[in-house]
Amino acid sequence: MKSIKTLGQFIIEKQADFPYAKGELSRLLRDIGIAAKIVNREVNKAGLVDILGNVQGVNVSGESQKKLDVYADEQFITALKSGGECCFVASEEQDEGVQLVDDGVSKDANYVVCIDPLDGSSNIEVNVSVGTIFSIYRRKSNAGEDVSQDDLLQKGTKQVAAGYIIYGSSTMLVYTTGKGVNGFTLDPSIGEFCLSHPNMTIPKDGHIYSINEGNYLKFPQGIKDYIKYCQVEDAASNRPFTSRYIGSMVADIHRNLLMGGIFIYPQTAQQPFGKLRLMYECNPIAFIIEQAGGKASTGEQRIMEVTPHHLHQRVPAIIGSTKMVDKVLSFL
């Protein structure tokens, strides 16, 4: 029989690979895993309880907040606060983020967490996969001090860990600490994330492109040209390619990570800087995909080398199999 290795066991085994190797990051990842189980429970019974629909408010991006958005945000912040290893949480649902150093538990915390608590939440009401995306940085200032802008606005290359949780037909947690990518599937019978996808790698090439073609007329010409390239029949390059777009970044990225493909969310005339957020969407996904052997670009530079200027900064995103990303860039 195949032995089962839980997320907790795996983290302990790999602790020596973590930066600073003091157990702090291990505990932080454990706290995120605990919150993910709670959110998963609510996502799976969302249709049975009064947790669907909007609350009376919008997030910092001007998007209507779903009840589950707010619930997931509260759960992750609570778990990170209780764990004591996080000094600041930057969330899509919070205008300024939440500083935790005033709390006695977190006064000596050394890590900043950027998180999208429930990516693709508009899909909840139609039973489509959604997810959580998180990114972890080590603070630059001394423990116990107020968190500074230098602590928060670090390039993606400074991430010490990143991951996502996808709540779908099964629930998976995928993460990296810069030593490859590993995936864990939640076993509901024991309530544990178990290693199911060790050493994940994305195929160098693929035949799936993920983009919202409804915005075609608003795309830059190079992106339009690439879409047309994907649709042309050519046996040598296995075209036409398959178009698959879910509208939940985590779900699209997860499929392409396993099968090969490309995810594109370019700038448009209405959103000249792109729509996806750098700190808690693009940077963590870029870190994962690069660690899996793929590539992530804004169209002009590597995503993880973008200098952030504010927590909710937006960037265009071209992420996926290396050969497919390079092909898009050739059209730009």
Structure pTM?
0.92
For 99-121, write each residue's pLDDT tens digit: 886 656 666 788 999 999 999 87
For the purposes of burial, counting CB atoms within 10 Å of the CB of 82, is it exposed (0-12), middle (13-18) or buried (19 or more)? middle
Strands 208-210 and 242-243 turn out to be: parallel
Q: Which of 20-34, 38-52, 104-118, 137-151 has the lowest mean pLDDT?
A: 38-52
Q: Which domains does the chain have, with CATH numbers?
A: 7-197 (3.30.540.10), 208-331 (3.40.190.80)
pLDDT at residue 184, rounded to an integer: 96
Q: What's the whole-number mean pLDDT along residues 157-182?
A: 94
Q: Which of 64-68, 81-85, 232-236 has the lowest mean pLDDT?
A: 64-68
Residue 143 has pLDDT above 60, yes or no: yes
Q: Which of 1-5, 158-162, 222-226, 282-286 has the lowest mean pLDDT?
A: 1-5
The model's confidence at residue 202, banded by pLDDT at 50, 70 and 90, is very high
Helix (H) / strand (E) containing 8: helix 7-13
Cα–Cα distances in angstroms (integers) from residue 281 to residues 129, 181, 240, 284, 313, in the given order: 16, 17, 29, 6, 10
Kindly report the average pLDDT of the chain as a whole number.
89
* pLDDT higher at 325 or 105: 325
pLDDT at residue 278, rounded to an integer: 97
Cα–Cα distances in angstroms (integers) from residue 261 to residues 65, 291, 331, in the given order: 30, 16, 17
The model's confidence at residue 206, banded by pLDDT at 50, 70 and 90, is very high
